[in-house]
């Protein structure tokens, strides 16, 4: 009986550690990148992004922030369910041929109920990078 309890305790500890490790690396939260928070975290209105340098919300327009910052904020908005707002942010990105951008445009359309449009964007992302796993996953 004591051996059984020790095995059970060890299993419980290992499960707790693996669960914590999964939560830390699952990707459900932020990636730790500086631009990963969304405009909602800073009280911005729909159609705006947060400019960390200016410390204020600004209209999502091309050139207002570097593409990477716009991508991270758009991705965060999409993951939080603000699909149309995310699309506005993605539209401000200068490099519209980035498979990551095309993928999240597709994701936003698909989650907003526009499946056919979403699939079109996943295919565009895969045409640029046939090995882009996330687009393949969402398309599948």
Residue 125: give its domain's CATH number. Answer: 1.25.40.10
Q: Please report, for the chain, how many H helices and E strands are present, in that order.
A: 6, 2
For residue range 66-95, what is the model confidence (pLDDT) as tens digits? 999 999 999 999 999 999 999 999 999 999
For residue range 11-63, what is the model confidence (pLDDT) as tens digits? 444 434 333 332 323 333 333 344 456 788 889 999 999 999 999 999 999 99
Cα angle, residue 79 at apex, residues 75 and 81 outer, rounded to 5°: 120
Q: Is 108 helix (H, G, I), strand (E, B) or coil?
A: helix
The single residue listed with the structure tokens 């911005």 is 44
Q: Give the number of domains in the chain.
A: 1
Question: With the C-alpha atoms ordered 111, 116, 122, 125, is the resulting torsion angle positive or negative?
Answer: negative
Question: Is 91 among the domain residues?
Answer: yes
Report the run of H or E that residue 49 belongs to, with start and end: strand 48-51
């Amino acid at each position: 009986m004591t051996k059984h309890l020790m095995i059970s305790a060890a299993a419980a500890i290992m499960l707790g550690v693996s669960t914590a490790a999964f939560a830390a690396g699952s990707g459900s939260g932020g990636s730790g990148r500086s631009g990963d928070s969304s405009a909602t975290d800073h009280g911005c209105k729909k159609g705006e992004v947060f400019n960390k340098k200016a410390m204020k919300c600004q209209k999502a327009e091309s050139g207002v922030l570097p593409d990477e910052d716009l991508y991270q904020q758009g991705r965060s908005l999409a993951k939080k369910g603000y699909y149309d707002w995310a699309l506005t942010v993605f539209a401000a990105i200068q490099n519209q041929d980035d498979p990551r951008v095309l993928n999240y445009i597709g994701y936003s359309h698909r989650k907003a109920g526009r499946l056919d449009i979403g699939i079109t964007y996943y295919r565009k992302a895969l045409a640029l990078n046939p090995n882009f796993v996330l687009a393949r996953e969402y398309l599948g």
